[in-house]
Amino acid sequence: MKLLIVDDSVIIQSRIARILDSPRLNFIQIAGTAQNGLEALGVFRQCMPELVTMDITMPKMDGVDCTEKMININPDCNILVVSALSDKATALKTLKKGARGFLYKPFSEKELIDAFLELTS
């Protein structure tokens, strides 16, 4: 299963990549990374991932708009929003745009693994 990691922080991108080394997630391969919504759309069209982790607060295009546009391209894509914005309204907004899950930062390794497994089960 191909994964696109979208986050303006390289530290978060690396953290997600390291957690993906878990044997429980060996069915997921990183197909690309992007640091803003606009760049993410370009990578998305190129690699057509089945799975995306999506930050919300990013330059150029935020994660809410990017989620909507990705779902328009591929409605079957599983988008997991990974954001520090921990108010319910933001989570609901992204779910309405087509995201399938929401994980709050800061997240633990277990929380991210569980979120991936739940999303792909």
Q: How far is CA 103 from CA 42, 47, 84, 93, in A?
A: 24, 24, 9, 14
Q: Cβ of residue 76: shortest distance to another protein, in angstroms?
A: 29
Between 14 and 46, CB nearer to another protein:
14
Phi, psi of 112 (to 5 degrees): -70, -45
Q: Cβ of residue 23: shortest distance to another protein, in angstroms?
A: 16
Interacting residues with another protein (CB under 8 A): 8-12, 14-15, 18, 57-59, 83-87, 89-90, 104-108
Between 30 and 50, CB nearer to another protein:
30
Between 6 and 85, CB nearer to another protein:
85
CB atoms within 10 A of CB 106: 8
Q: Cβ of residue 93: shortest distance to another protein, in angstroms?
A: 8
Q: Cβ of residue 91: shortest distance to another protein, in angstroms?
A: 10
Between 113 and 120, CB nearer to another protein:
113
The residues, any chain, with a CB within 8 Å of residue 96's CB and separated by 6 or more, are none
- Chain centroid to Cα 116, Å, comes to 10
